[in-house]
Structure 1
Amino acid sequence: MLRLPEFQSLDWILHQPLRMLIKDPVKLTENERRYAMNILTHTDFVIFNKLDKMPVMVVEVDGHAYHADNPVQLKRDKMKDEILRKYGIPIIRMKTTDSREEERLKEMLNDIFRKKSDFAEPIGS
């Protein structure tokens, strides 16, 4: 999908450590900081801007067998969501039992771009 003309400025990386996205953990609680800075805590995919390498969004794929009825993992997922929210990085969670993944991802990327353009000023204004 990132090959579509409207997303040519984007690329992705697999299994990016969360601590690589959160350089300064000042906004985090102690528990969030420990979790985010742990080398084993990673994102499934990060979609980023090719030009400045800034993250555009995180995509998490939640396997049904691993996430269903697993309170520890559900707590970690919620903490990761909150950490990313605090740093303004949108996240989308996709269950392996869901459908319409491509459509949902495209909608979210379009929404992110639309929100960014709402704040952009034309050059020379």
Structure 2
Amino acid sequence: MLTKVLGGEDFRHLAFVREYPLLMLPKDFSGFTQAERQFMEHNARLDFLVYDKIDKHPVATIEVDGSAHGTDGQKRRDGLKNAILEKLGLPLKRFATRNSLGGEAVALNQLLSLSCIQSGKQRQQSKTESRTVMKMS
């Protein structure tokens, strides 16, 4: 579905990588709590990271939450990831696998439209706190 949405006219300048290490995004770790730093250092990954093909800046993140996302431990990890992404200024959209399908393409279009506008403004103001995306093999 993500490939189809990114193939559209409005988002042709975007690409995505799967299982992107969260540790590779921040330039500076001083704004993160010890728990957030430890979480990143222990192989925390993003399900999908959408980035601009031209300048390689991250635009948005997508998480697919399975049935395990109801456990206390997973809720804690999700909370850490949410806090880290918020500090980086990266929008996050979560999709639950347990929900009935429908509406995901619309939600992705909305996320990417808003994210492109937001990331463009951030780069113009030089406030982006994240690194450029390094393509993972």
Tell me if 1:66 matches 2:68. yes
Counterpart pick for 1:28 among 25, 32, 40 = 32
Structure 1, gaps ≥5 residues long: none
Instruction: Give the counterpart letter for 1:83 in structure 2.
Output: I
Q: 1:39-76: per-residue Cα shift (whole Å, max 9, x none)?
A: x210000000001111101100001x2112x0000110
Counterpart pick for 2:52 among 34, 49, 60 = 49
Task: Map 1:110-121; keep pairs closer than 5 Å.
Answer: 110-115=113-118
Checking the alignment, whether the CA contact within 8 Å between 2:22 and 2:46 is kept in structure 1 is yes
Q: 1:65-123: per-residue Cα shift (whole Å, max 9, x none)?
A: 2112x0000110011011010011111111012331111011111122344566798xx
Question: 2: CA distance between counterparts of 1:33 and 1:120?
Answer: 25
| Identity of matched residues, % | 32
Instruction: Give the counterpart letter for 1:90 in structure 2.
Output: P
Checking the alignment, whether the CA contact within 8 Å between 2:18 and 2:47 is kept in structure 1 is yes
Cα 1:117–1:32 change in 2 (3 A) is closer
Instruction: Give the counterpart letter for 2:55 in structure 1.
Output: D
Question: 1: CA distance between counterparts of 2:16 and 2:9?
Answer: 16
Checking the alignment, whether the CA contact within 8 Å between 1:44 and 1:61 is kept in structure 2 is yes
User: Could you say what the CA RMSD is over the residues aligned between the two structures, in angstroms?
Assistant: 1.9
Normalising to structure 1: TM-score of the pair? Answer: 0.86
